[in-house]
Amino acid sequence: MDTSLFSHSYQSPTGSPIRELFPYLSKPGLISFAGGYPSPELFDGDGLKEAAARVTGGSNDVYQYGPTEGLPALRERLAELGQKRGVEAQAQNLLVTTGSQQAFDLLVKTLLDPGDTVLVELPAYPATLQALRLAQVQVLGVPMDAHGLQTESLRSTLQALRTASRPKLLYTVPTFSNPSGTVLCEARRASLVELALEYGFFIVEDDPYGELSFTSDLHKPLYRHGMEMAGSRNPVIYLSSLSKTVAPALRTGWMAANDDILRRCAIAKQTADLCSSPLTQMIATEYLGLGRYDAAVERACRTYQERMQVMTDGLNALLSHQLSFVQPQGGMFLWADLHPDMPLPDLFDACVREGVLYVPGTAFFPTPTARKSIRMSFASPGLADIQEGVNRLRRAMDAVTPVIRSSRANASVAAGV
Ligand code: PMP
């Protein structure tokens, strides 16, 4: 086909690198650490059924269009949820979106022109990189370490940039990052917001995982730092979602931001989908009103923590010579840096042969990287599968790198939990 009829960005676009792994999932017996899906047995099916029955049991009005900004009752409930996390936005400062994925897309539409400069933490959430690539902006990476995005490195980058290429926004997942699993430490949170105010860029704080914490530590949202430092000039735009705490099928996300941003995003949303499904918004509203949310989140935290522990115990026992990682304190992901001698395509193929899947770290960088790393999710597989998956990973690594075998060559994690 004559591709010149497509827009410049879509002449030869590349799809999501994670979705491209889907064909491997049909392999019988495969254990996947690759997906970013929450565990279905943690969905509160009874609560959702009750909420849906309440919504569909009455008048036909529930099948009508709704306001672009979202149903007022849902905005109230989401504002309450945010306030419990320290995001002091009122209902009128929230826009309901079709997943938080749409919220970012609306920001790309309303804030960015081709050629603009955007900062992202590295490694970064691939769908964000994809949206930025399609928007034809210049993406600059800011490295992360065990304490999240390195603000000193960001400061140097900002100082070096010419005025013409000053960034318009910075994207970060500061709490239990996807993919790195890390938390941005308190001191850096304040520095990051200070830098945004000093250099005049927005921060997109993407927070789908913040409530999935394995500790009692509190992580003050960047949004709140921004409010305290700048009030109505808050440079932080807060995004969140019910996908990881209730159910992704609700496709319910939201954005908290100032009026100028929200009004423009609402206009962009009018052309995207008019409004997010009022039906699922009503189900979400009813669900949040049932009083079951906190218990469901607590259950998810306990389950994910247990799974993370089994995964990290296994990696420590079997693969400490081949990889290193920061133990996640929440969320769904573990990021591991591999031994520099690890042959990457060979490892992926060996893992597929053994029946275990991960996401290659290269998916999380905007340009080719020499860094050898992988992302593994501990959210979906059960405990026995996690143990077996780690055993398979070990066998695959041993097969491709006989020289960097650990001294405990014959160890294996006991199966059967
Ligand atoms: N941001 C991050 C960091 C994510 O990991 C995800 C889902 N994987 C999303 C946004 C999108 O979530 P949703 O659209 O389901 O709310």
Residue 102: HSE in the Cβ half-sphere, 13 Å Cα cutoff? 25
209 alpha carbon – ligand 1 mean position (Å): 9
Can you tell me which atom of ligand 1 is nearest the CA of 98?
Answer: 14
51 alpha carbon – ligand 1 mean position (Å): 23
Residue 138, phi then psi, degrees to nearest 5: -90, 120
Q: pTM here?
A: 0.95
136 alpha carbon – ligand 1 mean position (Å): 21
Query: Across all residues in the chain, what is the average pLDDT?
Result: 94
Residue 36, phi then psi, degrees to nearest 5: -115, 25
- For residue 234, pLDDT over 70 is answered with yes
pLDDT at 408: 43
Does residue 172's CB lie within 6 angstroms of at least one atom of ligand 1? no
What residue's CA is closest to ligand 1, atom 11?
101
208 alpha carbon – ligand 1 mean position (Å): 6
pLDDT at 151: 98
Token digits of residue 113: 């022109």
Across-strand partners of 139? 118
In CATH, the architecture of 46-292 is 3-Layer(aba) Sandwich (3.40)
- For residue 67, pLDDT over 50 is answered with yes
- For residue 345, pLDDT over 60 is answered with yes
399 alpha carbon – ligand 1 mean position (Å): 35
Token digits of residue 32: 């996947």
> Counting beta carbons within 10 angstroms of the beta carbon of residue 369, is it exposed (0 to 12), middle (13 to 18) or buried (19 or more)?
middle
Does residue 285's CB lie within 6 angstroms of at least one atom of ligand 1? no
Does residue 253's CB lie within 6 angstroms of at least one atom of ligand 1? yes
- For residue 354, pLDDT over 50 is answered with yes
Can you tell me which atom of ligand 1 is nearest the CA of 101?
Answer: 14
The secondary structure of residue 328, as a DSSP letter, is P
In one letter, which amino acid is 24? Y
pLDDT, average across residues 258-278: 97
The pick from 21, 96, 101 for probing ligand 1's pocket by mutation, whose C-beta has the most ligand atoms within 8 angstroms, reads 101
Q: pLDDT tens-digit profile of 252-261?
A: 999 999 999 9
Does residue 276's CB lie within 6 angstroms of at least one atom of ligand 1? no
Given pLDDT bands bounded at 50, 70 and 90, which one contains residue 81?
Answer: very high
pLDDT, average across residues 42-55: 98
- For residue 417, pLDDT over 60 is answered with no
Does residue 98's CB lie within 6 angstroms of at least one atom of ligand 1? no
Whether the Cβ atoms of residue 191 and residue 176 lie closer than 8 Å to each other: no
Does residue 210's CB lie within 6 angstroms of at least one atom of ligand 1? no
37 alpha carbon – ligand 1 mean position (Å): 10
In the chain, residues under CATH classification 3.90.1150.10 are 3-43+295-407
Cα dihedral 398, 403, 408, 410 sign:
positive
In the chain, residues under CATH classification 3.40.640.10 are 46-292
Does residue 179's CB lie within 6 angstroms of at least one atom of ligand 1? no
CATH 3.90.1150.10 fits 3-43+295-407, yes or no: yes
Given pLDDT bands bounded at 50, 70 and 90, which one contains residue 405?
Answer: low
pLDDT at 18: 79
Can you tell me which atom of ligand 1 is nearest the CA of 177?
Answer: 3
**What is the rounded CA–CA span in Å between residue 77 and residue 64?**
21
pLDDT at 404: 64
